[in-house]
Amino acid sequence: MSVQIENDPDTHAEETGIWSWITTVDHKRIALMYFATSLIFFLIAGAQAILIRIQLFRPANDFLSAEVYNEFFTMHGTSMIFLVAMPMAVAFFNFVVPLQIGARDVAFPRLNALSYWIYLLGGLYLTSSFFFGAAPDRAWTGYANLTLPQFSPGLNMDFWLIGLSIVGISSIMGGVNFITTIINMRAPGMKLMRMPLFTWMTLVTSFLLVTAVPIISVALIFLGFDRIFGAAFFDPARGGDPVFWQHLFWLFGHPEVYILILPAFGAISDIIPTFSKKPLFGYPIVVYAGILIGFIGWGVWSHHMFTVGLGPFADSFFIAATMIIAIPTGVKIFNWLGTMWGGSIRFTTAMLFSVGLLAVFTIGGLSGIMHASAPVNLQQHDTYFVVAHFHYVIVGGTMMGLWAALYYWFPKAIGRYLDETLGKWHFWTTLIGLNLTFFPMHFAGLYGMPRRIFTYPEGLGLEIWNQLSTVGAVIFGLSGLIMTWNVIQSYRKGERAPADPWGASSLEWALPSPPHHYNFPNIPTVRSREPLWDEEERREVEGVTMAPPKAEPHMPNPSYWPFLLAASITLSWALVMTGIWWVIALGMIPTATCVFMWAFEPAFPEGAEH
Amino acid sequence: MSQAATMPIEERAPEPGLGIYNLKLGIWIFLLSEVMFFTALIGSYVILRFAHPDHFAAPGEVLNVPLTAVNTFILICSSVTMVKAYAAIEKDDQKGLKQWLLATIVLGSTFVGVQVYEYIHLVNDGFVPDAQAYVESGLAGGPLYSSTFYLMTGFHGVHVALGVGALIFILIKAMRGAYSSQRLGGVEGVGLYWHFVDLVWIVLFTIVYLI
């Protein structure tokens, strides 16, 4: 049995066909689906950004109407954060973490599949609002009281609040799954302080997901009550409080920022040592800095609200906390520089993106410190300066880190390299495009151009900055197309990759590319932080991971319940839009049925043993 | 090894981990998420109540405190029966497990039933989340009171109802003989959730009904 598995050259696809993908609980396949889906949403939300930039190319332009413009910038922000950046990071969590810690799958494989299907269907539900002519149009922050029924009468914001509630379920379940996996399923000898940094940052991010997402769920429930059941949480005329929304939103929203950036930090903390041929400089400090960011990230939310007028005491607290959080981030930057210092550096595409992150993210970090100061913030609030800042950190940080991770782990996932020539084109168009798009926005903002305004009059000195931004956006859009083309082409006929194409140190590189569907034929024992960089340990580990399995590995059963449950959850939530209590109650029946059916289905084959 | 062979994979604690099996750890992490959920709800109630004291009535003015006090007692009893169920299966007492599970289900359902009864009465009195209707009903306080009340107690009630569903599932499996002193992860997991929901209610009852 085991010998046959060993000789099968294509063990990754032990079963093919659409049904095997719908019922899969394999974390590697789920990772691929996460990535493909987030890539499609990336192209959609990116196209919206290009249209926004075309509208802003000339003063008093009428390319887009104000209504359509509002829908585009709202959906651009909402999609990029909830449907692109977060799930694309989760794609890498899924693929990389079990391989890095020496596990055969995540702790709850069916729950993992459910997370993916909820994300996909919730994302489709949210995006489908365009076909009903009711795309969300009150910005991704959904500020009350613009979102109340009297100011937003259509279904637009109902789509938004219900769509985000659905996607939030997926995030919480993903967080639970990865925390359990990382804490409990490490290979023997893999102590916490021997875990690769990407796994570490997945752990911190997962804790943030589990604790921050429930808060926006509650905020969305309040908003839903206001909009659908006539309550008045945010309506000052009837005793509510619009600032209350801002507190809830940003109490989630600021930890969310670190949910977006920490996975990228984790990825480049693995990539930079590999391509510098040096262990990560100050490993424990990088870990502690990541944890510290996760903690302090909870105490800075009101720096989004300095213009509200919370008073000098509250403002001072949040100024201090915001400035303090720059310290662990800066420490990390120096650790990465220290890793490269004196190393023998190879500038592969993955490394270029990592170094690009260091440069570009730092610019965004510095402008962040600028508006951490309340008096400065009063000038910059809701101007393009802020737009420039958060695009520098999210595009220059999160997305550059994720592209680095893509070039780094693609050979492991697919067994083929991404094309390096196209990769370099991708990198340079990204670097030039994003700087040309977002750097002029600092000036547009300082000249007083407000965000979320669909046009501007002539003669305010804003033309040149907007024109530069639009040209940059087109170049940046081109980089996305190059990358997509590269992924499709390399997936089909890229150059074959060996087990360890980069000479990296962590466990996933001790497996064939792509790995067996059961990952590890036998579970290796780990004795150091860089098991593959020690000659003796490498021989030991590979003796175990490259050998045929000693016992047949018992893998979890495939199941169609995750897909059905996700579909019924989406349906149940969508029916809340009707606002009729018995329709909502009836709508819960399929969800309840699926949960029960799921519960009775055994997760593993009977009598299965590790 | 022989013991491990009888245990499902989710219930085995691997070596470098916390020494807690995956299912139990997963439930703990999920409960962490639930803590944040209820903290946001309860915190909102506290903030709104301090900011708008005119919207909230004195204890007992609108809500039926004695009825809910009895209901609270019922829910606390259900935590005791849940502990008894777990204790029974730890000693391989199949009959005891089923009896105590059934008792927990009955008590939990009673709690939900009483809550529904209370809701029907309150709605008839005009205690509704709709702001306009509340003002017209002439009740003390304002619509923020009813909105926060229904959200907090409602979401808690949904949690109890889901817990009853989970207990029914556990009972069905218990009748098929799925549990033993070596395989009791399901009972323990649902038990943890049940005690958590119970604990949340004690906080809710205190701040919504008594203070």
A185 and A99 in contact (C-beta within 8 Å)? no
Q: Cβ–Cβ of B144/A108 closer than 8 Å?
A: no
Nearest CA in chain A to B5: A609
CA distance A41 to A159: 17
Q: Cβ–Cβ of B40/A172 closer than 8 Å?
A: no
- Residue for token pair 């989760």: A90
Sign of CA dihedral A204, A209, A210, A212: positive
A190 at the B interface (CB within 8 A)? yes
CA distance A215 to chain B (A): 6
Residue A591, token pair as written in the block: 């969800």
CA distance B198 to chain A (A): 19
B133 CB neighbours in chain A (<8 A) are 230
The alpha-helical segments, DSSP class H, found in B13-93 are 22-51, 65-90
Q: What is the pLDDT of residues B136-158, one digit of tens each?
A: 888 888 888 888 999 999 999 99
Peptide bond into A514 cis (omega under 30): yes
DSSP A184-239: H-PPTT--GGGS-HHHHHHHHHHHHHHHHHHHHHHHHHHHHHHHHS---SS-GGGT
Nearest CA in chain B to A169: B33
Question: What are the CB-based long-range contacts (under 8 Å, 24+) for B99-107?
Answer: B101/B167, B101/B170, B101/B171, B101/B174, B101/B187, B102/B171, B103/B78, B104/B78, B104/B167, B104/B194, B105/B164, B105/B167, B105/B168, B105/B171, B107/B74, B107/B75, B107/B77, B107/B78, B107/B81
Q: Cβ–Cβ of B9/A188 closer than 8 Å?
A: no
Overall average pLDDT of the A481-488 stretch = 97
Q: Which of the residues A112, A176, A192 would you substitute to probe the B interface, choosing the one with the greatest number of B C-beta atoms within 10 Å?
A: A176
- Residue for token pair 């981030």: A329
CA distance B72 to chain A (A): 24
Q: What is the pLDDT of residues A407-457, one digit of tens each?
A: 999 999 999 999 999 999 999 999 999 999 999 999 999 999 999 999 999
pLDDT band at A236 (very low <50, low <70, confident <90, very high): confident
A413 and A514 in contact (C-beta within 8 Å)? yes
A119 and A37 in contact (C-beta within 8 Å)? yes
CA distance B127 to B142: 9
If you compute the radius of gyration of chain A from its CA atoms, what whole number of angstroms results? 24
pLDDT band at A607 (very low <50, low <70, confident <90, very high): low
pLDDT band at A5 (very low <50, low <70, confident <90, very high): very low
The model's pTM is 0.94
Q: Cβ–Cβ of B33/A180 closer than 8 Å?
A: no
CA distance A238 to A268: 50
CA distance A87 to A167: 10
CA distance A144 to A313: 24
Q: What is the pLDDT of residues B118-137, one digit of tens each?
A: 999 999 988 888 777 888 88
Task: Give the C-alpha distances (Å, rounded to integers) separating A502 from A89, A406, A532, A546, B99.
Answer: 21, 14, 12, 18, 61
B73 at the A interface (CB within 8 A)? no
Overall average pLDDT of the A121-141 stretch = 95
SS3 of chain B: helix, strand, coil, percent, to 5: 80, 0, 20
Residue B210, token pair as written in the block: 């008594």
Q: Cβ–Cβ of B147/A172 closer than 8 Å?
A: no
- Residue for token pair 């033309």: A463
Q: Which residues of A are catalytic?
A: 76, 105, 140, 170-171, 254, 256, 258, 269, 303-304, 329, 332, 451
Q: What pLDDT is stored for residue B61 in this prediction? A: 85
DSSP summary character for residue B52: -
B211 at the A interface (CB within 8 A)? no
The alpha-helical segments, DSSP class H, found in A394-500 are 400-414, 420-446, 463-493
Overall average pLDDT of the B83-89 stretch = 95
Nearest to residue A272, comparing CAs of A343, A180, A222?
A343
pLDDT of A11 higher than 50:
no
Q: Cβ–Cβ of A244/B47 closer than 8 Å?
A: yes
A232 at the B interface (CB within 8 A)? yes
Give residues with Cβ within 8 angstroms of B56, minimum separation 6: B49, B141, B142, B144, B145
B51 at the A interface (CB within 8 A)? yes
pLDDT of A557 higher than 90:
no
pLDDT band at A606 (very low <50, low <70, confident <90, very high): low
Residue A436: CA count within 13 A, CB half-sphere: 17
B182 at the A interface (CB within 8 A)? no
Q: What pLDDT is stored for residue A183 in this prediction? A: 94
Nearest to residue A354, comparing CAs of A275, A259, A429, A256?
A275
CA distance B32 to chain A (A): 7
CA distance A484 to chain B (A): 36
Phi-psi label, residue A111: left if phi above 0, alpha if psi -120 to 50, beta otherwise = alpha
A214, A233, A595 member nearest B147 (Cβ): A233
B175 at the A interface (CB within 8 A)? no
Q: Which of the residues A169, A218, A245, A251 would you substitute to probe the B interface, choosing the one with the greatest number of B C-beta atoms within 10 Å?
A: A218
Nearest CA in chain A to B27: A176
A424 at the B interface (CB within 8 A)? no
A241 CB neighbours in chain B (<8 A) are 48, 51-52
| SS3 category, B166 | helix
- ipTM value for the complex: 0.92
CA distance B95 to A186: 38
The alpha carbon of residue B169 and the mean position of all alpha carbons in its chain are separated, in whole angstroms, by: 16
Q: Which of the residues A100, A112, A145, A184 would you substitute to probe the B interface, choosing the one with the greatest number of B C-beta atoms within 10 Å?
A: A184
Residue A499, token pair as written in the block: 């087990």
B25, B47, B48 member nearest A180 (Cβ): B25
Overall average pLDDT of the A196-203 stretch = 97
pLDDT band at A81 (very low <50, low <70, confident <90, very high): very high
Q: Cβ–Cβ of A210/B29 closer than 8 Å?
A: yes
pLDDT band at A348 (very low <50, low <70, confident <90, very high): very high
State chain A's mean pLDDT as an integer: 92
Q: Determine how many CB atoms are found less than 10 A away from the CB of residue B42.
A: 18
DSSP A483-516: HHHHHHHHHHHPPB--SSTT---SGGGGS-SSPB
CA distance A380 to B25: 45
Q: Cβ–Cβ of A604/B13 closer than 8 Å?
A: no
User: What amino acid occupies position B137?
Assistant: S
Overall average pLDDT of the A26-37 stretch = 96
Q: Cβ–Cβ of B17/A185 closer than 8 Å?
A: yes
pLDDT of A84 higher than 90:
yes
pLDDT band at B16 (very low <50, low <70, confident <90, very high): low
Q: Cβ–Cβ of A248/B47 closer than 8 Å?
A: no
B151 at the A interface (CB within 8 A)? yes
Of chain A, the percentage scoring pLDDT greater than 70 comes to 97
pLDDT of A13 higher than 50:
no
CA distance A407 to A349: 7
Q: What is the pLDDT of residues A49-69, one digit of tens each?
A: 999 999 999 999 999 999 999
Overall average pLDDT of the B54-69 stretch = 88
Nearest CA in chain A to B45: A233
* A contact residues 201-220, partner B, Cβ 8 Å cutoff: 210-215, 217-219
Domain positions in chain A are 3-599
A144 at the B interface (CB within 8 A)? no
Q: What pLDDT is stored for residue B5 in this prediction? A: 43
B58 at the A interface (CB within 8 A)? no
Nearest CA in chain B to A181: B22
A239 CB neighbours in chain B (<8 A) are 52, 54-55, 131, 142-144
Q: Which CATH architecture has domain A3-599?
A: Up-down Bundle (1.20)
Reported CATH class of domain B3-210 = mainly alpha
Buried b (16+ CB within 10 A) or exposed e, A572-585: bbbbbbeeeeeebe
